[in-house]
Structure 1
């Protein structure tokens, strides 16, 4: 696979994850999933990503013949229960899962400093705090795109961001989602699939940028 295709594949995975966690998945996104417009890697990548994409394929197979509006309604209910609340078990914010930070305070300030150091600002129209998983993924997407355009410094920004932020909470996020699901439901759960892909993708990116940044 050539470098450009690898970049495209990385960006596609990030776009998929943003669609899953930004808000309750839309009917338009589900329509693309069920029609095959969202690509699933053919090759093995790592255990977590492979398992996540297998679970995604099971979700698609279980739901593609159903009315997309019905599936969207069910996912909206589940998204609210898991991530919005009241009292959500898996609030998708870095500072929710880290014991060394507060939801509003030092942890959020450190994260925003990482964005600023890379000369990036979160979208103005997004209502969540800047430690939401979708915002962190948007930052990661910006760095990958800059790497594709030849900006070497973007590799170092990503390495630091993964080590100091994404890797500090992605496993707990996955484990919490998994603990909230019945065993039978877990096999075809879109959010669990997304969380597994997220953890596997962070591992993949960590290994990739390590090859580009001198130690």
Structure 2
């Protein structure tokens, strides 16, 4: 594998790990420490409109919180995460079956997502606190596929292409746009832009490689 390919895998995995941490629960202190200490990779060159907006907003978030204790920053974000995603009566339920009109949680929707996981040999780890169609779980599946691709399992590009076509890319832009409308935090604004841009980027890679 070339140096450029290794760097691309590093960047893909760093970004998907960030997004899982951002949407699975309150951001862990370790992530915020990396962000505030400048250890998170920000590309030097433009990538895409959404990804560029996300990285720019992430830099704004870092600047806003320069010198602050990551624990205190986490406390602020915990309140915002609860308001937007937990509730009571949260404005956003970041689940595929909450966004798609052609499926539902109690019907085939969840089963179809889980079938996609099973076909590729993956199941959500037990520590995942959400249902299988939650954004963080679907991103966890994407991370698994990227890791398998890095290890040379090229068939996983096909699984990824189908997963984008049938699931992830069908709803993620709507979810990201809702986050942008509802949040008062530059952290979640950045996460929303990066979520939309990353899924589009990954769909293009899968389409080219499958």
Q: Normalising to structure 2: TM-score of the pair? A: 0.94
Deviates more, 1:29-38 or 1:153-162: 29-38
Q: Distance in 1 between matches of 2:37 and 2:10?
A: 20
Q: Over residues 87-143 of structure 1, what are the superposed CA-to-partner deviations in whole Å (9 max), with x where a residue is unaligned?
A: 111111111111112123311000000000001110012221011111111100110
Q: Distance in 1 between matches of 2:35 and 2:155?
A: 34
Q: Which residue number corresponds to residue 193 of structure 2?
A: 196
Shift of 1:200: 0.6
Q: Over residues 62-91 of structure 1, what are the superposed CA-to-partner deviations in whole Å (9 max), with x where a residue is unaligned?
A: 012223222111100100011111111111
Q: Which residue number corresponds to residue 109 of structure 2?
A: 107
- 2:176 matched to 1:174? yes
Deviates more, 1:204-213 or 1:5-14: 204-213
Any gaps of 5 or more consecutive residues in structure 1?
A: none
Q: Distance in 1 between matches of 2:179 and 2:140?
A: 21
> Helix, strand or coil: the match of 2:25?
coil
| Equivalent residue for 1:205, pick from 178, 202, 206 | 202
| Equivalent residue for 2:26, pick from 9, 24, 27 | 24
Q: Which residue number corresponds to residue 91 of structure 1?
A: 93
Q: Which residue number corresponds to residue 142 of structure 1?
A: 144
Please give the residue correspondences for 1:20-99 in structure 2 after superposition, counting only pairs within 5 Å. 20-99=22-101
> How many equivalent pairs are there?
208
Shift of 1:39: 1.3
Q: Answer yes or no: is the 8 Å Cα contact 2:18–2:31 preserved in 1.
A: no
> Helix, strand or coil: the match of 2:76?
helix
> Helix, strand or coil: the match of 1:211?
helix
Q: Over residues 38-74 of structure 1, what are the superposed CA-to-partner deviations in whole Å (9 max), with x where a residue is unaligned?
A: 2122221110011011000000100122232221111
Q: Which runs of 4+ in 1 moved over 6 A?
A: none
Q: Distance in 2 between matches of 1:87 and 1:100?
A: 23
Q: Normalising to structure 1: TM-score of the pair? A: 0.92
Any gaps of 5 or more consecutive residues in structure 2?
A: none
